Structure 1
Amino acid sequence: MKDLDQMYIPTFADVEAAHDRIVPYIHRTPVLTSSYINSLAGAELFFKCENFQKAGAFKVRGASNAVFGLDDETAKRGVATHSSGNHALSLSYAAGQRGIPCHVVMPRTAPQAKKDAVRGYGGIITECEPSTSSREEVFAKVQVETGAEFVHPYNDHRVIAGQATCSRELLEQTDGLDAVIAPIGGGGMVSGTCLTLSNIAKDVAIYAAEPEQADDAYRSFKAGHIIADDAPNTVADGLKVPLKDLTWHFVSNHVTDILTASEQDIIDAMRLTWQRMKIVMEPSSAVPLATILKNPDVFKGKRVGVIVTGGNVDLAKLPWMQS
């Protein structure tokens, strides 16, 4: 891992530049509310619906910023990444928009819907075992063979600046927020949220939400240093990856707290939003609501922005339908 001093830490000027760069390639996603869910939570919740984003997830923001920020010579070699799904399909989408190759290393256990989406956008998949170590080992071989530009799913200043445009929009769409909460895996969205709020909404608290069965960010936050799990097991497949040095910089300096939810909490929250809000969100996206409902005292009476990170679900394998 690089020393943080050798890495570029994005600024809010980078967020503004990213916003201008990616506008032609993304949706300005809506903010939805539910009076029923508000009554359950004892708070006013404003759902920033990145499940309606291009490629079905917020990650198209960071991917598009990285791809369209490349010079022509670098872009010719294409881009490459490792991802359990949403970054893979988002980078494939962005690369397709620019007309360059995209090479993706994905766990063999990644949802079929996400693999199909990657291939649909023109991405070239190499499978690996479902662990961080296997993912990084296989990716190293792919990068050597292709010479493509590595766009890390989250530990990349271009990606974080792109993700930060989500909370920038949320602040424009919703007045007077007391807090914003987002899921945390590797920390790209949370880092982007920190980048935006710490610059233009310093009084808004930032919470991260994580599965109990993949709680390395929670344990890292409490310990004061990165603790990485190699292969956690959770229904929230997008949150299985560990923090890295750049995302840890933002999390450790700006996050108010990290809250966790059980597998059943996550499934219940996902089903609740499907039933009451009529929106499709994936398990990772349900973790913030699950933690809000589990910790009512933290959010009671507050106006809370809830970032719904994606909606790429395998409809044949909904978690409440599994035996």
Structure 2
Amino acid sequence: MKRRSFLQQTAFTGASLITATGFSAAAAPVYKQPVPAADKPFNLNYAFHDGMFKSHAGNDIIDQIKFGYDHGFRSIEDNGMMGRTPEMQKKIGDTLQKLGMNMGVFVITSDNWHWKTTLTTGKQEWIDKMISDCKKAVEVAKRCGAKWMTVVPGNFDRSLSLDYQTANVITALRKGAAILEPHGLVMVLEMLSDNSDLFLRHSDQAYMICKAVNSSACKMLFDMYHMQRNEGDIINNLNKSWDEIGYLQIGDNPGRYEPGTGEMNYLNIFRHIHSKGFKGILGMEHGNFQQGKEGEIALIKAYRDADSFL
């Protein structure tokens, strides 16, 4: 599944709440039912996204949040948060606060300019766009209770050397960090695997850029699906870049679905992350392998299985 398609989807589907693990068989909205003992919080803090549980909870993201809470999840992430109305941003934030949940990443780049040749160029128009979006993101973050926001520097500028492009990206990110840092906010740089035009693709590259920006407001988003495709050796590369990682994301490969559907040993990966004392969020940026209610229950079970390292 390509990231562009993933970001454009507003929902994934999945199916049936009747399982041997004790999930309630009550009709939606399930969040009104008592939380079964089997649905205690996970050992790590996994963040689902809008649409992931819509077959059970319906299309309302507030109901989906409550459903996710009842099944042990304690965070959400929402790439399209900046496109929501201020009223809905606040409603989501208030709901999360009431439940004791966290808000994960949203994408800071409006109009999807991260799919264009942008920060690598050094052109003032893109620096201005970065500054404008960071200022907007501060207000969005206040309303929804977010701390982290995804940034992608865009595509290669084939007219410039790699070093000049890297310098341009660092310059732009420093300007963005200067806006976010006073508010305790963090932009997290995501390395992607969708196509060969993307500038930021490897963990060592992002690590070097974060060191050069030298701000608490600029860290790495280590999406394990993309990194499995681009470089593999997930645990070792997590270790090497650990001090600059601010956020983690999940997706099995191939396919970009939940753990257990591909080649990655997420039980071992999650055990390792937990052993390092990670207290942050792991975003579930993937689709449901199965459609309908059955798929949603299979997804919950997949996380229970991968999270059973203690």
Fold shared, TM-score > 0.5 on shorter chain:
no
Whichever of the two has the greater Rg, that structure is 2
TM-score by length of 2: 0.29
